[in-house]
Amino acid sequence: MQVNMAKQQHLDWDDFRLVKIIAEANGLAGAAERLGVNHSTVFRRLGQMEENLGVKLFERHRTGYVLTPAGEEMSALAEQMEENVTSFTRKLAGQAVAPAGELRVTTNDTLLVHMLTHLFSRFVKTNPEMRLDVVLANQALNLSKRDADVAIRATDDPPETLVGRRVATIAWAIYGRLEDFPDQHQPTDLNSPELYNRPWVALGDNLAALKAARFVRDRVAPENIVYKVNTVLGLAESVEAGIGIGPLPCFIADASPNLVRLSDVNPEFSAGLWLLTHPDLRQSARVRAFMDFMAAEIAKQRRWIEGSGRRPTDQAIATTTRPLT
């Protein structure tokens, strides 16, 4: 990068960060929105930088702002600085001695509503010096960038960059509304044509990778899929409303007196339930206290989660572990 030394002035972190944000937003309007400032402020700051450096940092096109070679170097340095700061703060968080302060936990809406909220309640009552910040996201957040400290996820393939524990296997089966199946006392064979001639509900395309979604897509004729919804919570509501039959997690459906299990638990649908964190945080007192507590509490409910019993309150069952140490 050739910079006019006669014009070169001091650059601070905010200058590098501004270039990176403009590049990510593909223009000034998006950058201004992210920064919470006026469009004119971003325009003026960028102009001052380019004037001081004596080089253009962006090519202006009708389709957006494109980094010049000089801008690319500044954006790359900003990314590197951001990663270094994040790594430093992660390591500081990991050195905390006592379980106190805020812990950010990410999970999805289904687990939060039907399993985790009452466990989180117990945790904060047991650990009064701690606070939980729960972030709902069906897609994985970046724990490397401290988007969250702990992730509670249903997956069979947790990221190799994280460490944690598989605490249960989430069982699924086919369910229908009890009113529509008053004489259902035995599970129906999943190969029975009768099952597939009925109206079905299915998960939306955003959850197409889930095993249960693939099962419906592969087994049920498109004309028999009368309703699709992009959340598991919505799927359970649709079955309970009698729109059709469909696959549901047993820990949700078995708790409803209005639903009946039409099939045995199908291992093809199952997914692991994981507690995950970043390696730099595994020795953090906050993270260890939370993960140990949650692993113990979920273990008490493992048979319910795995579709072989009602929600227990005092049954202790060992967990499978990916070591934190």
Residues 141 and 245 in one domain: yes
Residue 220 has pLDDT above 90, yes or no: yes
Looking at the fold, whether 248 and 114 belong to one and the same domain comes out as: yes
Classified as helix, coil or strand, 125 is helix
Please, which pLDDT band fits residue 6 given cuts at 50, 70 and 90? very low
Residue scoring higher pLDDT (238 or 33): 238
Q: Are residues 112 and 233 in the same domain?
A: yes
- 170 and 288 together in one domain: yes
The reply to whether 112 and 86 lie within a common domain is no
Whether residue 81 is found in the same domain as residue 145: no
Taking the C-alpha atoms of residue 147 and residue 269, their distance in angstroms, rounded to an integer, is 29
Clarify whether residues 84 and 116 are in a common domain: no
Distance CA 320, CA 167 (A): 6
What does the pLDDT read at residue 140? 57
State the residue range of the domain holding 131.
Answer: 101-309
The yes-or-no verdict on residue 252 having pLDDT over 90 is yes
Supply the CATH number for residue 217's domain. 3.40.190.290
Count how many Cα atoms sit within 13 Å of the Cα of residue 54 in the half-sphere of its side chain: 10
pTM for the model stands at 0.65
3-state secondary structure (DSSP) of residue 155: coil
pLDDT per residue as tens digits for the range 253-269: 999 999 999 999 988 88
Kind and range of the H or E element at 300?
A: helix 285-300
Count of domains forming the chain: 2
Q: How many CA atoms, within 13 angstroms, populate the side-chain half-sphere of residue 111?
A: 28
CATH number at residue 43: 1.10.10.10
pLDDT digits (tens, 9 = 90+) for 143-167: 545 578 999 999 988 888 889 999 9
User: Looking at the structure, do residues 53 and 129 belong to the same domain, yes or no?
Assistant: no
Quote the mean pLDDT of the chain.
84
Does residue 7 sit within a domain?
Answer: no
Q: Is 118 exposed, middle or buried (0-12, 13-18, 19+ CB in 10 A)?
A: exposed
Q: At which of 54, 74, 93 does a domain end?
A: 93
Residue 1 maps to a domain: no
pLDDT in tens, 296-324: 999 999 999 999 866 654 433 333 444 44
Domain-located, residue 37: yes
102 - beta bridge partners? 131
Give domain status of residue 325, yes or no.
no
Q: Is residue 319 part of a domain?
A: no
Residue ending a domain, choose from 93, 127, 161: 93
Instruction: Indicate if 55 and 114 belong to the same structural domain.
Output: no
What does R_g of the chain's alpha carbons equal in angstroms?
25
Q: Is 71 in the same domain as 178?
A: no
Distance CA 166, CA 131 (A): 24
Say yes or no: 44 and 81 in one domain.
yes
Q: Do 141 and 70 lie in a common domain?
A: no
